[in-house]
Structure formats: C-alpha cells, structure tokens
Amino acid sequence: MPRSYPRFKAAACHAAPVFLDAGKTGEKACALIREAANAGARLIAFPESFIPGFPLWAALEAPYRSHDLFAAFAAQSLRRDGPEIAAVRAAARRSGVIVSLGFSEASETSAGCLWNANLLIGSGGEILVHHRKLVPTFYEKLIWANGDGRGLRCALTELGRLGMLICGENTNPLARFALMADGEEVHISSYPAVWPTRPAGEEGGYDLRRAIEIRAGAHAFEAKAFTLVASAAIDDSLYQALRGLDRAARETIEASPRAASMILDPSGKVISEVLSEEEGIVYAEIDLSRAVEPKRFHDVAGSYNRFDIFRLEIDRRPREPAVFRDAPWAESPAKIPPEGGAGATEET
C-alpha cells in the first residue's frame, strides 16, 4: 500500500506567561489553543517552561538572595496529573489538535525537586510523550534537576512522527540523533524569552536569537525535518514578579537579545513569519512529502551513515529515587499483621 504524507497547518505560540501564576497561564494556553485551532492549526507548540514561566532570576541574583523566588516557583510548578495539565489536555481534545507544552514539573517525592519538562499531548487529550530536559543549562542547575531518557522518542501521530527537545538540548548532537533515528519528521524546540549571561553593557553576551537560528536551521537540514520553534515573550507580569531585584537586573533583561519563534522546512528555510519582540502566533503549511527528496542526498539515520562503524545506545528507562518492594499485605492496611509478627505466616 503506498505511503501517504500528511499535510497540515502548524502553529508556534510566541507568548508571555502570566509569570509565576500557573492558573492564569494555563488559561492563557487554553485560549491560544482555541485561537490557533480556529485558524486551522492542527499542531500547536508552546515555549519552554511556559507554565509558570522561566526562572530568569537565576541568571541575575545570587542564589542565597533568591530563596523566596524559588519557593514561589516551586509552589506554582505543575504535576503531570494536576488541574492545569488536565485543562490543557481538555482544550486539545475539544479542538482536536496536538499540543506541545513546556512546563516546570513538580516532584511527587520532594517539595524542592523540579524538572524542566515538556508534554506532547494528542488530539484526543492523551499524553503521547513526557520529556524532562536531560541537563539544565548553566544557571538553570540552580532550579531544575537532571532529567532522564524517557522522552527521547517520537510519537507516531496522524500528522507524522513528532519529536521534541528543550532549548539547549538542540545543541546536543546525540539527543538530536536519538530523535532522527526514531524516524522524526517534525521537530519541536522550545525556548525562554531571554537568556542573559553578562550584565547590560558588557560585550560577549549570549545572543539567544542567533543561537536559535543556528540550531533550528542545523537540525532541520540534518534531520530533513520540519522544525517548529516556540519561544517566550516578556510582559509586565515578569517585571512585577521580579520587582525585588535591583535596577541592574532589569537593565540586563531589557538589554538581552530576545528569542524568536519560527517554522522551518527540511532545507532549513524559514517558511513562517518570525516573531521576537511582540506576542503572537506564527503559522506554516507542512507537507511531509517535501522531506523525501532531501533524504536522497543526506539521510543520517539511513543511507548516509555507517552503522557498522558507529553505534549509539539510548537508555529510555524512567529513573525513580527508589524501588519499593512491599510485603503482600501492604496494599491493604486491614491485612497488616499485628505488632510482633503474629499472623505474618498466614499472610506471607
């Protein structure tokens, strides 16, 4: 039976979270899903840590001065089974669209352990892929823990095979190749609004927009995959939440190069509007058949490789803090034997 190549409209949301307010940001995400779906989009991507926002203060303030901000951020971080995620899943189901959502994930086992996470949500509201950023980048290590390999996989959907990486992971050749080797056809990458590395006025700071352009173009070209880039914007809610920082911190935010949102084709060409300073949604028409011809030239997960020479092993097992092996009666408190062990023989 001949293979079919889906055609569809994709959207990348260049949006500002309601900073440190998970509930209101979740509502904004649902509104943007409706807007993009009404415009015909079937795949909608959101920025890195969109809910409840990116912890920018980690770049601007000494750790011992930011305990209150970290506590507020942890309190607004989400659990996978929490109400904010449930609302976004319901919005995806109502609109019949696939959604990529960046969020700060809270731990079930620790009040202070967080992950930089991303969910790929199917058009029926189901969770297709749950990814945690493998290594937090630079000062992000003050906020988030290392992730594991559970999310290094593509979801086979009605729109093709979809994969995703978070921010600096798009610089990691092995992480990117893991998705290529899993048949990735559409790649989703997510970013914050700014990523300061030097005070305002100093030369040599990190140009986030230029880094995005290089990474997105490289992956689109190497993977021969359509690439969605969803970056955050900044609004006054961020400045209000960080008003306790000094003037130099605000000047650094204002002077830092802004991220950009865009969509690229398998040649690395930008095929959408590019948004950087202003909020909005960028759209592009995706035709997966356009990746066939380029793969005749360079198919690094196929004919343009030497698997007899190179070998990559990827461990996608989830990592948990402990493995608990309970006694048979542990599932039912009524079956726990009395203190001293009487009756234990019958239960075991």
Examine the residue annotation and report whether 140 is marked as an active-site residue of this protein: no
* CA distance readout (Å), 76 to 54, 58, 102, 214, 247: 12, 16, 14, 33, 26
Please tell me which residue in 48, 61, 105, 169 is annotated as part of the active site: 48
Can you say whether the dihedral through the CA atoms of 91, 34, 5, 171 is positive or negative?
negative
Cα separation of 273 and 12, whole Å?
10
Cis geometry, peptide bond prior to residue 192 (ω within 30 degrees of 0): no
Which of 30, 84, 167, 185 is an active site residue? 167
Of 13, 105, 133, 213, which residue is the catalytic one?
A: 133
Q: Look up 113 and say whether it is catalytic.
A: no
Calpha distance 84→339 (Å, rounded): 43
β-pairing, 41-45 vs 98-106, is parallel
d(CA 100, CA 88): 10
The single-letter DSSP state of residue 131 is: E
Of 140, 255, 251, nearest to 207 by C-alpha is: 255
48 is catalytic: yes
Which among 30, 56, 24 is positioned nearest to 13, based on CA atoms?
Answer: 30
Cα distance from N-terminal residue to C-terminal residue, the chain: 56
Amino acid of residue 46: F
DSSP string, 93-150: HHHT-EEEEEEEEEPSS-TT-EEEEEEEE-TTS-EEEEEE-SS--GGGGGT-----GG
By three-state DSSP, how is residue 9 classified? strand
Give the H/E segment covering residue 255: helix 247-255
Residues 6+ apart with CB under 8 A from 250: 239, 242
- Which residues is 145 bridged to in the sheet? none
Q: At what angle do helices 83-95 and 22-38 cross, to 10 degrees?
A: 10
d(CA 38, CA 51): 23
Which residues are catalytically annotated?
48, 133, 167
